[in-house]
Structure 1
Amino acid sequence: MHQDYIQPNEWSIIEEGFDPHRVKSSESLFSIGNGAMGQRANFEETYTGETFQGSYIAGVYYPDKTRVGWWKNGYPEYFAKVLNAPNWIGIDVKINGEVLDLHTSEVIHFRRELNMKEGWYKRNFTARLANGVDVKVEAIRMLSLQYDEVGAIRYSIMPVNTSADIQMTPYIDAGITNEDSNWDDTFWEVLETNTTMNSGSITTKTMKTDFHVCTGMYSTCTLGAEEKQCTASEQINRDNYIGLTYGLTVDQGKTCTVEKYAGYTVSLNHQKSAVTEASKKALFEASQLGFDQLIKTQAETWASIWNMADITITGDVKAQQGIRFNIFQLNQTYSGKDTRLNIGPKGFTGEKYGGSTYWDTEAYCLPFYMVTKNPEVARNLLTYRYHQLDKAIANAKKLGFTNGAALYPMVTMNGEECHNEWEITFEEIHRNGAMIFAIYNYVRYTGDYSYIPEKGLEVMIAVARFWHQRATFSEEKNKYVILGVTGPNEYENNINNNYYTNYLAKWCIEYCIEQIHKVKASYLTAYTRIWDTTKLTEEECIAWQKVASAMYFPYSEKYQVYLQQDGFLDKELTKVSELPDDQLPINQHWSWDRILRSPYIKQADVLQGIYMFEDRFTQKEIEKHFDFYEPLTVHESSLSPCVHSIIASKLDRIAEAYTFYVRTSRLDLDDYNKEVEEGCHITSMAGTWMSIVEGFAGMRITNDTLSFTPRIPEQWGEYSFKVNFRERILKISVVPDGVTIVLEKGQALAIQINGVLQTIEKSEVNYV
C-alpha cells in the first residue's frame, strides 16, 4: 500500500486534515529551497510530537569521523555531511500563558499547501488549546530565489472564541544537531549573538571546516486590520539562542501578525569577518521591499523558470502533479550559478546520504539542466568535477593506482571520497564512467566541443589510466577482466565482470583515444598543453587500446543476453512477481546475506548500459535484455523506474512505461519506498523528466541531429514541453494522432520526427 493523502492538484501539493503520523513525511514533501539554502516544512510554533528538524545551507558541511568496526587501508577517514544549520523559522506562541502546540491541542481544522507555480508554502489551522481558547493561524513562508540569502514568514493568529493575551517570540536557535551524527560531535561553535529592538543574529562557525555563517532575523509585529505596530517587550540573548518577544492583548476576531525576514550569509560568498554585516544588509533590503513584494518577485521568478521547464499533461491530474513536483524540487535544489555546488540525492529535504554529490548528477541530472536551462548550467556541473580532478587522482593513489590515474569519489563534498561502506567506496567504480559519459552527453547535445580541449580531455585521460590499471589479463579467458566490483545493482557486492562496469571501461578508453586524435588535429595548442601536463605517451595509448579491444563480457547463449556478472545464472531466477507481498521491499525484510544470494536487482544495471548506449543494440537485443532483467528487478532504488520506463517506451510498451512513469514521478508523493520522512529523492526526479522527454517523446541525438519518436499514454489527452537545443527553443506538443513542433527562438533547424527529416522554420507550426 502506498500513502494517498496528498490531494490531486495540477499546481499545488495539498494536505487536508491533521495526522501526527504524517508530520515527518509532510516535512519532506512540503520542503522549500532556493539553491543556496533549504528547509524541511517544520512548524514555526512549538511542536512536541515526532518531528525531524532540518535547515541546510548549500556547500556547508562537516567531516564526521567515519564509524566502522574494522578499518581497512584506503578507507575514507570521514563521512562528509550537510549540516543541520541554525534554525531561523521558529516563532514560539503562548495564548493566555498556554503554549500553542498542535501535539497537545485539539486540531479542529488543518490545511497546508506548497504552491509550486509561485514558490511559497502556506499552513492554515484552527486549534483548541488546553485552556479552551480557539485560535485560527495562517503561516506563509518562502525562500527567495531572487535574493537567495533571505527567506520570509508571515504568521498571523486570531483568537476565535474569546479575547486573549498573546505572546509571539520569533527566534533563532543555534543549539541544533544532526540526526545522522556518527559520534555526537558538536558541529557548530557560536562566535557572537546580537539582539536589538526588532532584529538579531547569531554568528557561528563549523568545527574542522571553518565555514562562518551568520543567521540573522528582522521582525515586525502588527495588530488588526489597521496594522498597528507593536514593539518587542523582551530581548532574549542566550549562548546559542536569541528571541524577540511581542506581548499584546488581541480582541476576539482580531488578528495579530508577525513578519519575519531571516536567512544565512556564508563565508563561501563573503569575508569571514563580514558575514554579520552582510546579514544586516540583506535583511534590511528585504524588509524594505516588504513581504508582499518578495512574494510577487518570487512568483515572477518562478514564472520565468516554468516558462522553459514546465511539462504540461492533460487528462491526468496525478501525472501532472507528479512531474511538476519533480521539476519544482530540482529547481529549488540547484540553480546552476555556482561551480562549487552540486546536487545531493536528498537536496535540502533531509540528511540521508550526507547531502553529498553522487554519480546521480552525471547520469541523471545533467540532461534535465542541459535541456531546460542554458548550456552554461550543464557546463558548470562538468566544471565541478574538473576542479576536483586532483583529488580524484589522490583518491586513486590511496588505493594503489599510479601515473595520474583518477577514481572519482562515490560520495563527496570537495572531491575527497567520504563514503561509509567499503562495498561501495572501493567497488562501485562504474561511477568513473559516468563522469566521461556526462562530457560525451553534453557535447553531443549542445554541440559545444570546446569543453573537451579546455577541461574534459584531462579528466578522460586520468579515468582511462584508471581503467587500464584496474583491468586484469586473464590467461584462462584470454581477455581482460575487472574483478571485485559492485555494479549499479547494489544487491550484488564483490562480484567479477559486471557487464555495465566492463562496458563503460572499454567505452571510456576508446572515447578518450578518439578525443585525443580530434584535439591533436584541431586544437594543437590545447593538445600540447595537455600532453605536457599529463605526460601522456603514444605507448600508453596503445596499452589502453589493448585492454579495450580485449575486454571480457559475460554472455548467455541460452538466453542471448549479456549477464550482469560472472555466475549470475547460478542463482535461482525466481521472478519478483512470485514473491509474497509481505516480503517487499526485500531490503526491509531480508538479511543482507539472503539479498546477496538472490537474483533480485535493486536498480537498472545491464539495462542502465543499454539505456546509455542503446544505438549499439538492435531493437530485438534491447527487448531480450528487458524481458530477462525487468522481472528480476525490485526497483528499491529511486534511480531504477525511470530507466525501465524509457526502455519500455523504446519498445513501444506504453502501458508498461506509464506504470514506471507513475512510480518514478510519484515516488515521494505516494511514498512507494516507505521512507519519504527521511527526505525526497531529488536526483531521481530528473529521471522523471527523462521518462517523458526521452521516454514517451523519444528525444535522441541521431547522427548529430535532434530526433523524436513521440508516443503518448492512453491516459493523457496531450503533453508538451520545451527544449533548449543549440541556441533554439523548441516547443513539442504530442497528441494521440500526431505531434506539433514550434520554433520559439533561433534559426531554422532540421530535426528528425519518426525517422523523417524535417526543417522547422521560425514561428511555423508543424503537424506530423
Structure 2
Amino acid sequence: MNQDYIIPNSWSIIEEGFEAERVRSSESLFSIGNGAMGQRANFEEHYSGQTFQGSYIAGVYYPDKTKVGWWKNGYPEYFAKVLNAPNWIGINVYVNGEALDLNVCKEIRDYRRELNMKEGWYRRSFRAVMQNDVEIEVAALRFLSLDIDELGAIKYSVKPVNRDVNIIFKPYLDSGIENHDTNWEEKFWETLDIQNDDNKAVIVARTLKTHFYVGTFMENVLEVDGQPQSVSNKETRSSTYISHEYQLDVRKGATATLYKYAGYVSSMNHDKDRLVREAEKISTKAVTYGFEALLQKQKQAWASIWEMADITIEGDVKAQQGIRFNIFQLNQTYLGKDDRLNIGPKGFTGEKYGGSTYWDTEAYCIPFYMATKNQKVARSLLKYRYNQLDKAIENATKLGFVNGAALYPMVTMNGEECHNEWEITFEEIHRNGAIVFAICNYLRYTGDYSYIPEMGLEVMIGVARFWHQRVHFSADKGKYVILGVTGPNEYENNVNNNWYTNYLAQWCIRFAAEHIAKVRKEYTGDYKRIISVTNLSDEEIKTWLQVAENMYFPYSGKYQVYLQQDGFLDKDLKTVAHLPKEQRPINQKWSWDRILRSPYIKQADVLQGFYFFEDQFTKEELERHFDYYEPFTVHESSLSPCVHSIQAAVLGRMDQAYEFYLRTSRLDLDDYNKEVHEGLHITSMAGTWMSIVEGFGNMRVKNGMLSFEPKIPEQWKGYSFKVNYRGHILKVEVSHEKTSITTDGTQGLAVMLNGEKIELQPVVKP
C-alpha cells in the first residue's frame, strides 16, 4: 500500500499530525535547495528518534574507498560520496531547563509541515506538552535564498502557553559530521579553525583527499514579541562544534524568536584564505536586509521561475500537486548558473547512488531545462560533457580501448568513473549513446548548430570510436555483435546483443559520420582543428560505417518484435500480472539471482529506443512492442513510468497514460517504491514534465518546426504549459473542446497543430 499522508494541495506539500515513523520520509519530501546547496527537512531542535541528517553543497564530494572482495583490472578506484556537509540548521531549545525533543514530549498537537512551492519556503509548527508539563507553541520557517545562494535563513519562535518560562536558545554549527552511507565509518571532514565574534561564528573545514575548503557560518538575532533583544551569549565549543547560548525570561503568551542567518562559503567560489571574511560579509548583509525582506526576495525569485516553468492542471488536485512538486525540486537542484555542476539523481535530498551525473541528465533532464530555461542552460549541460571528454577517453583506455575512444562514466563527479556496482560500471555502456542523443536533441530543438563544430563533434568521434572497437564480427551470424552488456533494464546483467545498445551504437556512428561531412564542408577551420586533434581519417570513418551497416539485431519472427537481448525467449515468460502483490517490489523481496533469471523489466529498455527514435518506427510497430514488453515491466525504476506514459498517449490509450503519469508525478509523494526515506528521485522528475509536454501535449520538432497533437485525460478539465522555443515563449492551453497556442514574443512563428500549419501572431505592444 502506498503512503497517503500528504494532503492534496495545488501549491503546497502539507503534512498534519506527528507520526515518528514518518519522520525520515518527510525529511526527504520537505527538502529545500537553491542550486548551490540543499538540505533534508531535519528538525532544528534536538530529536532523539530515528532521523537521517543531511546537508549538501553542490560540487563538494569525497572519493571513498571502494569496497570489493576481489579487485579486477579496470574497476573504478573510488566511489564518489555526495558529502554530508557541516550542519548549520541546529537550534537546541530548553524550556525551564528541559530540552525540547518531540520524541519524548508527553503530547504533541496541531503538528503541521508545509513546503510552499509557489514561494520557496518550508514551515513546521506544533503545540507540545513537555515532560515538565510546560506547554509551548513552536513555529519554524526556513528557506535557502535564491538571491544570495550561499545563505539560508531560519525564523524559530517559541510561545509558552500555560506559564511564564525561561527559554534557552542554543544555535550551533557542527562539522563533526559523518555520511549516512559511509562504507568504512570514517570521517570525511577535517576541522581547521573555529572563529567566534559576538553573535557570529564560522567553522572552517576541509574535505580529506579532495581538499574542498568550506566555511560554515551563522549570525543570530533575537526578538520577543517583535522587539529586538540585546542578550549576551555564552559560547560552548569543541574541536568540531560551536554554539551560542541565549537565555530569555518569557511571560505566558509572549513569543520569543531566534533568527538564524547561516550557510556555506567554499573554495569552489572563493580564495580559501578569505572564507571567514566572505562569510561575515554575507551574514552582515543578511542581518541588514532582515528576515522579512529576504523572504520577499525569495518569493519574487520563485515567481519568476514559475512564470516560465509552471504547468497548470484543472480538475485534478493530486495531479497538479505532483507536477509542481517535480518542477519545484528540479529547480531546487539545478538552475543552470554554474556549468561545473550537474543534476544528481538524489539532488540535495539524500546520499544514495553517489556522484552528481548519470545518463539521466542527457536522456531526461535536458529537454526540461531546454524548454523551461533557455538554450544557454542546456548548452552548459552539454559543455559539461565536452569538458570531461579527456576523462572519458581515459576511462576507455583503462578498459583497453585505444585511439581516442571515449567511454563516458555511468556515475561521475569530475569525469572519472566512480560507480561501485561493477556489472553496471563495465556493462551499462548504453550511457555513451545518451550523450550523443542529447546533442541531437539539442540541435533539433534549438537549431543551434554551433555547438557541434565547437565541441560536440569531438565527443561524437570519441563515442563512435568506442562503439567501433566494442563490437566484433560474428562469423556465425555474419553480423557485428556487442556482447557482455547491461541495457537500461538493470534486472539483466552480462547479456549479449541488447537491442537498445546495438541500435544506439549504429545510430551514433551514422550520426557522427553525417556531421563530420557537414563540418568538413561548412566549417573548414573547425574541421581542420578537429582533425589535427583526433587524427581522424576517411578510411577510419569507412570502417565505422561498415559496422553500422552490418549490426546485428535480435528479432522474433513469431512475435514480430525486436528482442530485448539474445535468449529473452528462453525465459519463463509470465507477465507481471502473475506476480503476487506481496512479492512486490521484487528488488526488495527477491534474491538477485532470481531477478536476473526472470523476464521482469525494471524500466523501459526496447521501449526506451522507441522513445528516442520514434520517427524511425511506425505507430503499428510501437504498438506491437508496447503490448509485448509493458506487461513484463515492473516499473521499479523511477525512470520507467514516464516513458510508458508518453508512449501510451501516442497510442491514444489515455487511461493508461494517465495512470503512468500519476505514478511518475507522485512517485515520491506516494512512495510507490518504498524508499523515499533515502531521498527523492530528482532526475526522473524531468520525465514527469515530459509526460505532459511530450506525452499529452505531443510536442515534437518535425522538419525544423514545432508540432503539437494534444490529448487530454478525461480526469482533467484542462491543462497548460509554456515552452521557450528558439527565443519564442509559447503557451499551450488544452481543454476537451479546443487547443490554443499563443506567443508573447514580438516575432511571429509558424507551428503545426494537429497536422495543420498555423501562424502565431506577435504581440502588438502599445
Identity of aligned residues (%): 66
Deviation at 1:444, TM superposition (A): 0.5
Contact 2:355 2:411 in 1 (8 A): no
Task: Look up the match of 2:657.
Answer: 657
Does the aligned pair in 2 maintain the 1:347–1:355 contact within 8 Å?
Answer: no
Cross-structure match for 1:724: 724
Q: Which amino acid in the other structure matches residue 128 of structure 2?
A: A
Partner of 1:380: 380
* Equivalent AA in structure 2 for residue 116 of structure 1: M
Letter in 2 for 1:139: A
Shift of 1:544: 0.3
Superposition map of 1:126-165 within 5 A: 126-165=127-166
Per-residue CA distance 1:79-115 (angstroms, 9 max, x = gap):
0011100000000000111000000002122001000
Instruction: Answer with 489-498 or 184-193: which moved more.
Output: 184-193
Aligned equivalents of 2:88, 2:644: Cα separation in 1: 42
Task: For residue 233 of structure 1, report the CA deviation from its aligned partner.
Answer: 2.9
Are the aligned partners of 1:56 and 1:82 in contact in 2 as well (CA < 8 Å)?
A: yes
| In 2, Cα distance between equivalents of 1:82 and 1:590 | 28
Contact 1:348 1:355 in 2 (8 A): no
1:198-347 equivalence runs, <5 A: 198-225=199-226, 227-347=227-347
Shift of 1:38: 0.1
Equivalence for 2:545: 545
* Counterpart for residue 34 of structure 1: 34
Q: Which residue does the alignment assign to 1:107?
A: 108
The answer for the alignment partner of 1:89 in structure 2 is 89
* 2:710 maps to amino acid: P
C-alpha distance in 1, partners of 2:58/2:670? 27
Equivalent position amino acid for 1:307 in 2:
E
| Alpha-carbon distance in 2 for matches of 1:490, 1:747 | 47
Q: Which residue of 2 aligns with 1:7?
A: 7
Residue 472 (structure 1) aligns with: 472
Distance 1:593 1:41 in 2: 37
- Looking at structure 2, the residues matched to 218 and 8 of structure 1 have their Cα atoms a distance apart, in angstroms, of 36
Q: Is the 8 A contact 2:424 2:486 kept in 1?
A: yes
Give 1:746 deviation, angstroms.
Answer: 4.1
Question: Residues 223 and 230 of structure 1 are in contact (CA less than 8 Å); yes or no, is this contact kept in structure 2?
Answer: no
1:53 matched to 2:53: yes
**Aligned counterparts of 2:688 and 2:287: Cα–Cα separation in 1:** 38
**In structure 1, distance between residues paired with 2:394 and 2:355:** 22
| CA deviations over 1:360-399 (Å, ceiling 9, x no partner) | 0000000000000011000000000000000000000000
The answer for the alignment partner of 1:706 in structure 2 is: 706
CA distance in 2, matches of 1:682, 1:297: 25
Distance 2:199 2:274 in 1: 21
Work out the CA distance in 2 between the residues paired with 1:470 and 1:364.
26
Q: How far apart in 1 are the matches of 2:628 and 2:754?
A: 28
Amino acid of the residue matched to residue 304 of structure 1?
S
Q: Which runs of 4+ in 1 moved over 3 A?
A: none
Give the Cα separation in 1 of the matches to 2:329 and 2:639.
16
Q: What is the DSSP-based 3-state SS (H/G/I as helix, E as strand, rest coil) of the residue aligned with 1:477?
A: coil
Deviations 1:325-368 (A, max 9, x none): 00000000001011110000000000001142100000000000
Aligned 8 A contact 1:39 1:56 in 2: yes
Aligned residues: 763
Aligned residue type for 1:62? Y
SS of 1:465's equivalent? helix
Q: Is the Cα contact below 8 Å between 2:355 and 2:418 reproduced in 1?
A: no
1:686 equivalenced with 2:686 (yes/no): yes
- Is this contact kept in 2: 1:12–1:321, CA < 8 A? yes
* CA–CA separation in structure 2 for the residues paired with 1:499 and 1:230: 70
How far apart are the structure 2 equivalents of 1:209 and 1:683?
A: 26
Q: Distance in 2 between matches of 1:574 and 1:747?
A: 56
Measured in 1, the distance between the counterparts of 2:607 and 2:463 equals 23
Q: CA deviation at 1:230?
A: 3.0
Match of 1:751? 751
- 8 Å CA contact 1:319–1:665 kept in 2: the answer is yes
TM-score by length of 1: 0.99
**Aligned residue type for 2:197:** T
Which has the larger displacement, 435-444 or 353-362? Answer: 353-362
Corresponding letter in the other structure for 2:48: T
Q: Which amino acid aligns with 1:639?
A: L
The alpha carbon displacement at 1:681 in A equals: 0.3
1:608-619 mapped onto 2 (5 Å cutoff): 608-619=608-619
Say yes or no: does 1:395 pair with 2:395: yes
Post-superposition CA distance 1:259-280 (Å, at most 9, x none): 0000000100011111121111
Q: Is 1:622 matched with 2:633?
A: no
Q: RMSD of the TM alignment (CA)?
A: 0.7
CA distance in 2, matches of 1:266, 1:74: 33
Aligned to 1:456: 456
Q: 1:726, CA displacement in angstroms?
A: 0.6
Give 2:602's aligned amino acid: K
Tell me the distance in 1 between the aligned counterparts of 2:510 and 2:234.
Answer: 70
The residue number in structure 2 matching 1:594 is: 594
Which region of structure 1 is more displaced relative to structure 2, 555-564 or 230-239?
A: 230-239
For the 8 Å contact 2:199–2:233, the answer to whether it is kept is no
Residue 28 of structure 2 contacts residue 349 of structure 2 at CA under 8 Å; is this kept in 1? yes
In 2, the alpha carbon distance for the partners of 1:311 and 1:187 equals: 41
> Deviation string for 1:591-635 (max 9, x for gaps)?
111101100000000000000001010010000000000000000
Report if aligned partners of 1:700, 1:706 keep a CA contact under 8 Å in 2: yes
In 1, the alpha carbon distance for the partners of 2:553 and 2:606 equals 11
Deviations 1:234-255 (A, max 9, x none): 0122211111111011000001
Aligned counterparts of 2:426 and 2:228: Cα–Cα separation in 1: 63
Q: Deviations over 1:110-131 (max 9, x none)?
A: 0010000000000110001000
Q: Is the 8 A contact 1:230 1:246 kept in 2?
A: no
**Against the structure 1 CA distance between its residues 578 and 746, is the aligned structure 2 distance closer, same or farther, given a 3 Å change threshold?**
farther
Offset of residue 209 of structure 1: 0.2
Partner SS state of residue 114, structure 1: strand
CA contact (8 A) 1:727 1:746 kept: no
Displacement of 1:578: 1.4
Helix, strand or coil at the partner of 2:620: helix
> Which whole-Å CA distance do the structure 1 matches of 2:617 and 2:225 have between them?
70
Corresponding residue number in structure 2 for 1:674: 674
Give the Cα–Cα distance (whole angstroms) in 2 for the partners of residues 489 and 276 of structure 1. Answer: 48
Would you say 1:350 and 2:350 are equivalent positions? yes
Secondary structure at 1:701 match in 2: strand
Tell me, which stretches of 5 or more residues in structure 1 are unaligned? none
Partner of 1:176: 177
**1-structure distance, mates of 2:618, 2:298:** 48
| Secondary structure of 1:600 counterpart | coil
Question: Equivalent residue for 1:20?
Answer: 20
Q: Which ranges in structure 2 are unaligned for 5 or more consecutive residues?
A: none
- Residue 47 of structure 1 aligns to a residue in which SS? coil
3-state SS of paired residue (1:468): helix
Q: Tell me, yes or no, if the aligned pair for 1:174 and 1:202 is still in contact at 8 Å.
A: yes
Deviation at 1:182, TM superposition (A): 1.2
Mapped pair 1:584 → 2:566:
no
Q: Match of 1:125?
A: 126
2:446 and 2:725 in contact (8 A); partners too: yes
Q: Does the 8 A contact of 1:88 with 1:172 survive in 2?
A: yes
Q: In 2, are the aligned partners of 1:150 and 1:263 still within 8 Å (CA)?
A: yes
C-alpha separation between the residues in 1 aligned to 2:169 and 2:185? 32
Task: Give SS of 2:353's match.
Answer: helix
Q: TM-score, normalised by structure 2?
A: 0.99
How far apart, CA to CA, are the structure 1 residues paired with 2:225 and 2:406?
Answer: 64
Q: Cα offset for 1:760?
A: 1.0
Q: Deviation of residue 719 (structure 1)?
A: 0.3
Matches within 5 A, 1:494-643: 494-643=494-643
Contact 2:746–2:763 (8 Å) recurs in 1: no
What secondary structure does 1:469 align onto? helix
SS at match of 2:185: coil
